Amino acid sequence: MRTTKWCGIVLMTLVFFFIAVNGFASSGHGQNQPKKIGILLVAFGSSEPSAQISFENIDKKVKIAYPGIPVHWAYTSHIIRNKLAKQGKFLNSPEVALSKMKDEGFTHVAVQALHTIGGEEYHDLRRTVGAFKIMGGFQRIVLGYPLLASQKDMQLAVSAILESIPTERKSNEAIVLMGHGTHHPSNAFYAALMFQLQLKDPNVFVGTVEGYPDVDLIKELLIKRKIKKAYLMPFMSVAGDHAKNDMAGDEDDSWKSILTKAGIQCAPILKGTAEYDKFVDIWVSHIKGPLSHFE
Ligand code: CO
């Protein structure tokens, strides 16, 4: 009886010791490494020269807001990466960028998405970040929110939009924003944004290329309000292919052609949201989220 009891205690101690040593060894993975915090900015990517200016502006602003923290970049679109590789510019995917950061001894990584909504691309990135988390490549790796995530972001975006409206626009003229749109549930952000914009300025509209609300609905609303002129503005970080062709192009199915045919004079503005400091500030402030986990 006594021997059994002692055997039990010895066994329990051994088990505890085993768990403690193993637990320490696994959680101690990389613990001896000095803490090295890094930021990884992730954009869809663009071959537009104006996009490059926006990316450089974001890079500069991030470095000013978080001094001393190295900033790396990754691009999710492999079409863009392949296109630029042919011009001799080699860009990293998030997977490659994170692997390189691991090799460079980063222990804590704040991954910041430069997407507009938490749609498909954002969730793909979330999966990549999750995979690095499971592999234990870093002590901490945390993903920051896209432009529109919280109600506060919506309010900041509404102000940023209202402040970027051309000064010559009269109140009976419309502002029509072109969002990307998606089949993803997050598509609801566009209509929600339009609702909140219209509380401040009833002639600001938000449509999308690939989701709801579409251009036909926006056209009906403009006709109902007897709008004679509309400023078309991309609600995408970069004024790329969608802005140049689907929004401002001369083809019959562009927004400019569709609205012009309905008797609405169109003035397209080819400037992406990443070119306006007010929008960039929202993305930059979101990096605070992941960094707050590293203290
Ligand atoms: Co697209």
Q: Both 8 and 120 in a single domain?
A: yes
Q: Both 86 and 134 in a single domain?
A: yes
- How many CA atoms are closer than 13 Å to the CA of 84, on its beta-carbon side? 18
Convert the pLDDT of each residue in 248-286 to its tens digit.
999 999 999 999 999 999 999 999 999 999 999 999 999
Q: 144 pLDDT exceeds 90?
A: yes
Q: Both 77 and 201 in a single domain?
A: no
Residue numbers of the domain that contains 172: 151-271
Lookup result for tokens 């959680």: 27
Convert the pLDDT of each residue in 42-71 to its tens digit.
999 888 888 888 899 999 999 999 999 999
pLDDT band at 7 (very low <50, low <70, confident <90, very high): low
Q: 158 pLDDT exceeds 90?
A: yes
Convert the pLDDT of each residue in 212-227 to its tens digit.
999 999 999 999 999 9
CA of 180 to the centre of ligand 1 (A): 6
What pLDDT score was predicted for residue 52?
A: 86
Q: Both 70 and 112 in a single domain?
A: yes
CA of 242 to the centre of ligand 1 (A): 7
Q: Both 123 and 97 in a single domain?
A: yes
Q: Which helix (H) or strand (E) holds 42?
A: strand 37-43
**Cβ distance 225 to 174 under 8 Å?**
yes
Q: Both 169 and 119 in a single domain?
A: no
Summary mean pLDDT of the chain: 91
Q: Both 241 and 286 in a single domain?
A: no
CATH at 170 = 3.40.50.1400
Residues serving a catalytic function are: 180
Domain count, the chain: 2
CA of 238 to the centre of ligand 1 (A): 11
